[in-house]
């Protein structure tokens, strides 16, 4: 700095330089080149039909689909049959038909059929990609096929400058997650691996990070001194439907708790990242997972809705849980002693996702009704779905001479539905090279380590009625921190 330059100008220059490091709206630094093709393995599968084609259609509507899409699957389809499947997918997703957008999508899609074990499939895929040099390979297939496809891509030279999207679940336990990551990293560098969890693409989930660190009033109370407990509920009013075979292999603990709800815990509990970048955020989330105390059988209640064993592709003697509630502790300076209660289930009373940060009662009961035994102290409520809300509950005095009052919610946010679907947002980010909303290897393995013991050692699944809030035994987990907050 020259002798004439002022400290203020120097600080402004540093701020300008820092802003230039992160020009994108996400957390990556913008150095990744956009992909020039999307390869969709499992094109004829359920995930592609229900989620991926509607997402690609949404991108076409916004003028954001610029690359060819090459599908790969074992089924033999003519071009006409493929276009018909795409139209059916869009219609069943409830999207209004836009002929121009539909034409853009169908014109960009081509198809390669064959067995993933056949090297000729990858040779024909390479031909179908033509001059594309930076493809994104989306593995929307069972995890058991990941190794076969990744090996085939490498043998055909389709891994250079490419990215790969791995659909959850990322393994079934710590050992399998480590094995899966080792396979993926043997071909692709970590920065080219995108572990997709559609929950992270929801607007309300993204808002958790913003709400935490864009508001200075939260920091003084966001710790063990003022927070009594945290509850997170993700409930669904429907059953496993056509996914009985999948649920038999996964269950609620693997399907929802280990990924969706742990990610919410990470965003709520993490320390401020050092700077606005993917690596900084993932580092802090991984620290939270590593600080989680391993869950024991006493911390877990498993349930199964009545009638589950009669679902298609379900073992009539199945002990798989369709409901799970657990108590969690984070052994860190900020959260020591604060219990986190996580709950999710099928066929529950409503479909919703909500967080309740329960604050401690005032230290002195100055007013007779300031901490009634039958009501909660102040709390912060984050509604994640079906609508997004942030609310603060505080007591206010009633008019008159008496010092009595009521607890009221101050609604801070009531957002409209997402403009983009989670898959649309995440696909667009993967194509652009933005990893902000994707999970890291370290975070995935640290999360599995917390649950590894209870995946094997646990009590039997307790039957519960459809339309309830799960087995009554889950209430005992909360103890003095109860009752459960039931989203309405």
Contacts of 225 (CB under 8 A, 6+ apart): 360
> Residue 166: enclosing H or E segment and its boundaries?
strand 163-167
> 307-316, long-range: CB within 8 Å, 24+ apart, which pairs?
307/239, 307/466, 308/239, 308/240, 308/346, 311/239, 311/240, 311/244, 312/242, 312/244, 313/244, 313/245, 313/248, 314/240, 314/244, 314/245, 314/247, 314/248, 315/248
Q: Which CATH class is domain 37-167?
A: alpha beta
CATH 3.30.360.10 in the chain, residue ranges:
200-420+434-481
Backbone angles phi, psi at 364, to 5 degrees: -130, 135
- What is the full per-residue pLDDT of the chain (488 aa) written as tens digits? 444 444 333 333 443 333 333 333 444 443 468 999 999 999 999 899 999 999 999 999 999 999 999 999 998 888 899 999 999 999 998 888 899 999 999 999 999 999 999 999 999 999 999 989 999 999 999 888 999 999 999 999 999 999 999 988 788 999 999 999 999 999 999 999 999 888 888 888 888 999 999 999 999 999 999 999 999 999 999 999 988 998 998 999 999 999 899 999 999 999 999 887 778 888 999 999 999 999 999 999 999 999 999 999 999 999 999 999 999 999 999 999 999 999 999 999 999 999 999 999 888 777 877 666 667 889 999 999 888 899 999 988 889 888 888 889 999 876 665 556 889 999 999 999 998 889 889 999 999 999 999 999 999 999 999 999 999 999 999 999 989 999 98
Backbone angles phi, psi at 484, to 5 degrees: -60, 145
Backbone angles phi, psi at 347, to 5 degrees: 50, 45
Burial of 262 (0-12, 13-18, 19+ CB in 10 A): buried
- The sign of the torsion formed by the CA atoms of 73, 33, 168, 419 equals negative
**CA gyration radius for the chain?**
25
CATH 3.40.50.720 in the chain, residue ranges:
37-167
Between CA 269 and CA 282 the distance in angstroms is 13
- If you ran DSSP here, which 8-state letter would residue 96 be given? P
Burial of 8 (0-12, 13-18, 19+ CB in 10 A): exposed
Residue 486 pLDDT: 95
Between CA 198 and CA 384 the distance in angstroms is 13
Contacts of 57 (CB under 8 A, 6+ apart): 86, 89, 90, 93, 95, 101, 102, 105
User: What's the pTM?
Assistant: 0.88
Asked whether the beta carbons of 189 and 164 are under 8 A apart, the reply is: no
460 three-state secondary structure: coil
> Residue 193: enclosing H or E segment and its boundaries?
strand 193-196
Closest CA to 64 of 436, 452, 424: 424
Sheet containing strand 37-41, edge to edge, reads: 109-113, 69-73, 37-41, 135-139, 163-167, 193-196
Closest CA to 467 of 356, 323, 261, 324: 323
For the record, the structure tokens of 125 come out as: 């895929």
Residue 12 pLDDT: 37
For the record, the structure tokens of 257 come out as: 């708790």
DSSP for 210-239 reads HHHHH-TTTGGGSSTTTEEEEEEEEE-SS-
Q: Which residues does the annotation mark as catalytic?
A: 260
The topology under which CATH files domain 200-420+434-481 is Dihydrodipicolinate Reductase; domain 2 (3.30.360)
327 three-state secondary structure: strand
């Amino acid at each position: 700095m020259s002798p004439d330059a002022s400290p203020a100008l120097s600080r402004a220059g540093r701020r300008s330089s820092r802003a230039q490091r992160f020009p994108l709206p996400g957390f990556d630094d913008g150095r990744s080149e956009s992909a020039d093709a999307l390869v969709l393995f499992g094109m004829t599968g359920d995930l592609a039909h229900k989620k991926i084609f509607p997402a690609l259609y949404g991108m076409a509507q916004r003028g954001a689909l610029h690359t060819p899409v090459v599908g790969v699957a074992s089924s033999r389809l003519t071009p006409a049959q493929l276009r018909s499947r795409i139209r059916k997918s869009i219609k069943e997703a409830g999207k209004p038909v836009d002929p121009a957008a539909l034409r853009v999508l169908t014109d960009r899609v081509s198809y390669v059929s064959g067995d993933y074990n056949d090297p000729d499939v990858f040779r024909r895929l390479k031909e179908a990609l033509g001059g594309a040099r930076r493809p994104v390979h989306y593995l929307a297939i069972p995890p058991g096929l990941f190794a076969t496809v990744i090996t085939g891509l490498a043998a055909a030279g389709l891994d250079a400058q490419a990215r790969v999207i791995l659909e959850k679940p990322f393994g079934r336990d710590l050992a399998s997650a480590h094995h899966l990551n080792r396979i993926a990293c043997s071909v692709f560098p970590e920065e080219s691996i995108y572990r997709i969890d559609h929950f992270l693409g929801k607007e309300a989930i993204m808002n958790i990070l913003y709400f935490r660190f864009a508001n200075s009033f939260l920091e003084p109370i966001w710790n063990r001194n003022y927070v009594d407990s945290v509850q997170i509920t993700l409930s669904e009013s429907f059953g496993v439907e056509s996914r009985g075979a999948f649920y038999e292999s996964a269950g609620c603990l693997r399907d929802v708790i280990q990924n969706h709800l742990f990610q919410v815990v990470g965003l709520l509990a993490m320390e401020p990242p050092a700077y606005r970048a993917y690596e900084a955020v993932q580092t802090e989330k991984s620290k939270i997972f590593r600080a989680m105390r391993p869950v024991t059988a006493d911390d877990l209640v498993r349930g199964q809705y009545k009638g589950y064993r009669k679902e298609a592709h379900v073992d009539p003697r199945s002990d798989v849980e369709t409901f799970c509630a657990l108590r969690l502790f984070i052994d860190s300076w900020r959260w020591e002693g604060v219990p986190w209660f996580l709950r999710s289930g099928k066929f529950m009373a409503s479909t919703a996702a909500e967080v309740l940060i329960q604050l401690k009662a005032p230290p002195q009961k100055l007013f007779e009704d300031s901490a009634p035994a039958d009501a909660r102290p102040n709390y912060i409520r984050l509604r994640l779905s079906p609508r997004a809300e942030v609310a603060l509950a505080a007591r206010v005095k009633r008019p008159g001479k008496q010092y009595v009052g009521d607890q009221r919610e101050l609604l801070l946010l009531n957002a409209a539905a997402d403009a983009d679907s989670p898959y649309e947002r995440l696909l667009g980010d993967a194509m652009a090279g933005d990893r902000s909303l994707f999970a890291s290897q370290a975070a995935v393995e640290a999360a599995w380590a917390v649950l590894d013991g209870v995946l094997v050692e646990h009590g039997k699944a307790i039957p519960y009625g459809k339309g309830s809030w799960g087995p009554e035994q889950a209430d005992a987990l909360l103890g003095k921190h109860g009752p459960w907050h039931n989203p309405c």
